[in-house]
């Protein structure tokens, strides 16, 4: 079993190397400035509207997890050849494990492990990456799970920031301070359902990260 796992890991490393070689040498690529990827919070971000000064692509997928994002990322990098990557992912991982009754410490460790693998792939391909903090929620999403998520995010974002710093070309950007109220919850006027954010919130985040990605 151990030899099999090592073989699978070796094959993946070879795939990464080959993909990176294609990534840097293929001439038939879109060559965009910034690629946004992640879950529905990225999917709902009209990057063409908020960043009209540069060419962007958005490959966010509703319901996506960290592992699923990693699975498709190399293909996205090769297709779009971005100068920079903006990443927001992890919400669905947290919700799924909370509903399954997984302990907070295990949730955090599990997500950080998946994140480390994802960031390692990104760093290996020498693409600069901005990792956004997981966004706080409010009681409209469900009072119990919202409180659980917000408490979890406080710890997870702190540890995620430390993890991101370990990878060359990767930077963590905290954005919750733009969106929360005095109770440390997502402001009512910035959300559609207590979990997803609206145009006003996207505008605030876009203006905040603009100096980081250009």
Residue 3: predicted pLDDT: 46
Confidence (pLDDT) at 31: 75
What pTM value is reported for the model? 0.86
Domain holding 178, by residue range, is 2-213
The predicted pLDDT at position 214 comes to 81
Residues 57, 209: Cα–Cα separation, whole Å: 16
pLDDT of residue 28: 44
- For residue 76, the domain's CATH number is 3.40.50.1110
- Decide the pairing of beta strands 56-58 and 170-173: unpaired
DSSP-assigned beta bridge partners for residue 173: 132
CA distances from 105 to 81, 140, 170 (A): 36, 25, 24
Q: What is the pLDDT of residue 4?
A: 43
Structure tokens at 64: 């996506």
Name residues of the chain where pLDDT drops below 70: 1-30
- Number of domains the chain contains: 1
């Amino acid at each position: 079993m151990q030899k099999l796992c090592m073989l699978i890991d070796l094959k993946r490393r070879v795939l990464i190397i080959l993909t990176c070689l294609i990534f840097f040498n293929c001439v038939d690529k879109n060559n965009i400035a910034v690629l946004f990827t992640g879950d529905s919070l990225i999917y709902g971000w009209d990057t063409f509207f908020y960043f009209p000064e540069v060419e962007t692509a958005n490959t966010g997928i509703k319901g996506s997890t960290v592992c699923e994002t990693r699975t498709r990322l190399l293909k996205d990098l090769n297709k779009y050849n971005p100068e920079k990557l903006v990443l927001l992912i992890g919400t669905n991982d947290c919700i799924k494990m909370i509903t399954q009754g997984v302990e907070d410490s295990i949730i955090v460790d599990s997500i950080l492990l998946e994140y480390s693998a994802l960031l390692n792939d990104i760093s290996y391909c020498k693409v600069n990456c901005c990792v956004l903090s997981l966004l706080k929620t409010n009681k409209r999403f469900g009072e119990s799970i919202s409180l659980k998520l917000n408490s979890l995010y406080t710890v997870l974002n702190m540890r995620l920031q430390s993890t991101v710093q370990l990878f060359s070309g990767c930077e963590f950007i905290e954005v919750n301070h733009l969106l929360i109220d005095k109770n440390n919850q997502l402001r009512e006027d910035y959300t559609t359902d207590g979990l997803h954010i609206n145009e006003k919130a996207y505008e605030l985040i876009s203006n905040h990260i603009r100096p980081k990605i250009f």
